Amino acid sequence: VATQRLPGQRAGLSRDDVLSAARALLDEGGLDALSMRAVARRLGVAPNALYSHVAGKTELLDAVLDETLAAIDEPPPGAAAAEPAAAVLALMCSAYEVLAARPALVPLYVMRQGARGERSARFGEVLDGLLERLGLPAARIPEVRRVLIVHTIGFASLAAQSPDDPGERPVSADELARSLVHGLEWLLAGAVGSTTDAAVPDRARRGPGHA
């Protein structure tokens, strides 16, 4: 992108160029590597050129974060209707994987209120729909949504831990994923059980270890 330009010539930058450069820096060097000046350097422009396409660093980070959430797999409508509990598990696991794949973003997701972009909103709506289909009364849905998301993001942030600290036991990714699912099942069973006692299928109670 850094083709030599004479002074006064346009760089032909687009907002997407800025976002992808930011994403690339994030993946290569983590959150520390992502500075406005580094993005500009990578694009071959002056640092302040970015402000024509982005309001500031915060907006840039929010955009990258929300864009990332687009990769979350929504459960097919059929599965949502037939097995809502399994669909919740699948949805949360997908969110976990998406965030764990871009570890540097997780602390950001935590620092903010969980991102306010449209992808994030969509994720919440899909989850709410599944919880409704599970038979939860509308009044309990915000709490259960909160609990499930906190759990999932929390485990994503565990998975995102940089291996720069060799002193601690690493906790294999496998073990972490199993704990994630176990916790989700316990939370779901508790949430549903505190309302009706027979609304969660057996397989969401036993966990994958017994499959």
Partner DNA sequence: ACCTGAACACCGTTCAAGT
Tell me how many residues contact DNA (CB under 7 A). Answer: 23
Distances (CA, A) of 32 to 50, 172, 177, 197: 18, 25, 27, 48
- Asked if residues 41 and 29 have their Cβ atoms less than 8 Å apart, the reply is no
Closest CA to 124 of 148, 156, 158: 148
Q: Of 87, 100, 127, 191, which one interacts with a copy of itself (CB under 8 A)?
A: 191
- The reply on whether position 45 binds DNA by CB under 7 A is yes
**Residue carrying structure tokens 């992502």:** 34
- The reply on whether position 165 binds a copy of itself by CB under 8 A is yes
**Residue carrying structure tokens 């915000």:** 142
Site string for DNA, 126-165 (x = CB under 7 A): ----------------------------------------
Number of neighbouring beta carbons within 10 Å of residue 3: 8
**Residue carrying structure tokens 């009044």:** 139
Cα–Cα distance for residue pair 148/127, rounded to 1 Å: 9
Q: Of 110, 126, 177, 199, which one interacts with a copy of itself (CB under 8 A)?
A: 110
Cα–Cα distance for residue pair 116/136, rounded to 1 Å: 25
- The reply on whether position 1 binds DNA by CB under 7 A is no
27 Cβ neighbours under 8 A, 6+ residues apart: 102, 104
Q: Of 17, 66, 83, 185, which one interacts with a copy of itself (CB under 8 A)?
A: 185
Site string for DNA, 5-24 (x = CB under 7 A): x-xx-xxxx-----------
Residues binding a copy of itself (CB under 8 A) = 106-107, 110-111, 113, 116, 143, 146-147, 150-151, 153-155, 157-158, 161, 165, 167-168, 171, 175-176, 178-179, 182-183, 185-187, 189-191, 194, 207
Residues binding DNA (CB under 7 A) = 5, 7-8, 10-13, 34-38, 45-49, 51-53, 56-58
